[in-house]
């Protein structure tokens, strides 16, 4: 830090040293460190980058003049430039004219010549957001993204959604609220595109800060963007009363293939997920004991799951054995496509999904007074940590009784 001492009755300030600036950069925190030179500060960003900034009051308002990054701009050059800037401001020259001249030179004499001769246009030298975005894309994005279609999409999103509101604004005049308003619609409607767009605007304005076109990046963080009201929609569920109707449709429909018929039947009778049914192997089945064991890698919870097989479920498996018994997978080799069961259930009721059959079993268990812990094990839901700590059994036999009663209900005449 700069510090002061008394010499012959005068207070003398010493300036920032190189070692202190190194330490400031390593901290990676936002800090305004005053130099011994009047109005000169070393502004450290959280990225570790340090920029020399002259902070001078103009018309009753403090204005920041970006001099350049440290260590590219030496301390001596920054101090000389700060003194020149203060003199030019005092002489009444425009803020933007001085900033534009700083983009050309830091030499105090040349700086004064440019400003006093108005050799840099105070209106056009600072680029607009459109110009900054185009230069950023040409220098960084176009060469750094290997996928051509995605590279084109990056600039197209900025052009379509940001340019209409921000394109003609000079980058040093942009306000955070403007960017929020420009992104609001796309953020609320298509948040994936909105997040990508906000991120690229942030990169463009970081590029503008690095080039000295603006002092700070006004791009809003994610927490400042408008919140989207989430409407939770569950998969359409089959009412338990219609389970018998579905079973009759499955068994009586001649247009269903054997894998589709067996898969839908097992989904209804066991409450297992579509992927677990499609990837079921003969090696996973203990038909003598009536147990289907799905390995951990095949489960959503990544925990091995044993499911007892009711008498009708065993009959379904026995019915497809002549076709696939010598293969690895119960429903055929290779396993059927993920849309097999989805398309089959849609033929029964277009509003249903296979997941809706799990909800159907869950509703029936709740209405039948099945204990919640038993129902959770049937549907392979992750138990609470406290329950898991004290309940090590998977309640297999109690679940077998539940699924047997469910199957008897579903297959009843």
Give the per-residue pLDDT at 255: 87
d(CA 194, CA 183): 7
Residue 364 pLDDT greater than 90, yes or no: yes
Residue 340 pLDDT greater than 60, yes or no: yes
Q: Around Cβ 189, how many Cβ atoms within 10 Å?
A: 10
Give the per-residue pLDDT at 322: 93
pLDDT per residue over 283-293, tens digit each? 999 999 999 99
Strand 40-44 and strand 285-286: pairing?
unpaired
pLDDT per residue over 66-121, tens digit each? 888 888 888 888 888 888 888 888 887 878 878 877 877 888 887 787 777 544 34
Give the per-residue pLDDT at 146: 44
Q: What is the average pLDDT across 378-385?
A: 73
Q: Which of the given ranges, 4-8, 72-76, 405-409, has the highest pLDDT on average?
A: 405-409
Flag the least confident range among 33-47, 50-64, 229-243.
229-243
pLDDT per residue over 246-278, tens digit each? 999 999 988 889 999 999 999 999 999 989 999
Q: Write the burial class of residue 303 (CB in 10 Å: 0-12 exposed, 13-18 middle, 19+ buried).
A: middle
Residue 148 pLDDT greater than 60, yes or no: no
Give the per-residue pLDDT at 106: 84
Q: Show the DSSP H helices in 176-220 as ranges.
A: 176-189, 191-210
d(CA 309, CA 285): 9
d(CA 80, CA 87): 11
Q: What is the average pLDDT across 8-14?
A: 41
pLDDT per residue over 59-81, tens digit each? 788 888 888 888 888 888 888 88
Give the per-residue pLDDT at 283: 94
Domains present along the chain, CATH in parentheses: 4-117 (3.30.160.390), 129-224 (1.10.150.130), 240-410 (1.10.443.10)
The residue behind tokens 């600072």 is 126
Flag the least confident range among 140-144, 190-194, 220-224, 403-407.
140-144
Q: Are 81 and 67 in contact (CB under 8 A)?
A: yes
In the chain, % of residues over pLDDT 70: 86
């Amino acid at each position: 830090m700069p510090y002061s001492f008394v010499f012959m009755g005068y207070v003398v300030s010493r300036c920032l040293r190189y070692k202190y600036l190194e330490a400031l950069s390593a901290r990676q925190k936002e800090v305004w460190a005053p130099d011994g030179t009047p109005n000169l500060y070393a502004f450290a960003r959280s990225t570790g980058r340090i920029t020399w900034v002259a902070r001078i009051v103009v018309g009753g308002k403090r204005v920041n003049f970006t001099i350049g990054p440290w260590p590219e701009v030496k301390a001596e050059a920054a101090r000389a430039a700060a003194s020149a800037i203060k003199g030019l401001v005092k002489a009444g020259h425009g803020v933007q004219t001085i900033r534009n001249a700083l983009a050309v030179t830091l030499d105090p004499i040349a700086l004064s010549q440019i400003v006093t001769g108005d050799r840099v246009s105070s209106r056009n030298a600072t680029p607009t957001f459109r110009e900054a975005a185009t230069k950023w894309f040409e220098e960084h994005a176009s060469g750094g993204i290997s996928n051509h279609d995605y590279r084109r999409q990056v600039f197209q999103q900025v052009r379509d959604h940001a340019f209409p509101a921000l394109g003609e604004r000079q980058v040093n005049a942009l306000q955070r609220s403007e960017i929020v308003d420009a992104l609001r619609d796309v953020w609320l409607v298509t948040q994936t595109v909105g997040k990508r767009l906000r991120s690229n605007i942030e990169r463009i304005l970081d590029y503008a800060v690095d080039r000295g076109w603006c002092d700070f990046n006004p791009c809003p963080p994610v927490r400042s963007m408008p919140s989207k009201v989430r409407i939770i929609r569950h998969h359409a569920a089959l009412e338990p009363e219609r389970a018998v109707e579905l079973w009759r449709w499955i068994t009586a429909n001649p247009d269903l293939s054997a894998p589709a018929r067996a898969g839908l039947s097992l989904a209804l009778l066991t409450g297992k997920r579509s992927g677990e049914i499609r990837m079921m192997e003969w090696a996973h089945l203990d038909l003598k004991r009536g147990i289907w064991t799905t390995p951990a890698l095949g489960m959503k919870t990544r925990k091995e799951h044993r499911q007892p097989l009711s008498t009708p479920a065993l009959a379904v498996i026995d019915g497809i054995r002549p076709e696939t018994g010598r293969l690895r997978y119960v429903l055929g080799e290779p396993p059927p496509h993920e849309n097999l069961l989805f398309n089959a259930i849609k033929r029964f009721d277009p509003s249903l999904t296979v997941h809706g059959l799990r909800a159907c079993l869950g509703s029936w268990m709740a209405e039948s007074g099945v204990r919640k812990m038993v129902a959770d094990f049937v549907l392979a839901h992750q138990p609470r940590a406290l329950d898991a700590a004290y309940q090590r059994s998977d309640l297999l036999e109690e679940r077998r009784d539940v699924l047997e009663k469910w199957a008897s209900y579903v297959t009843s005449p």
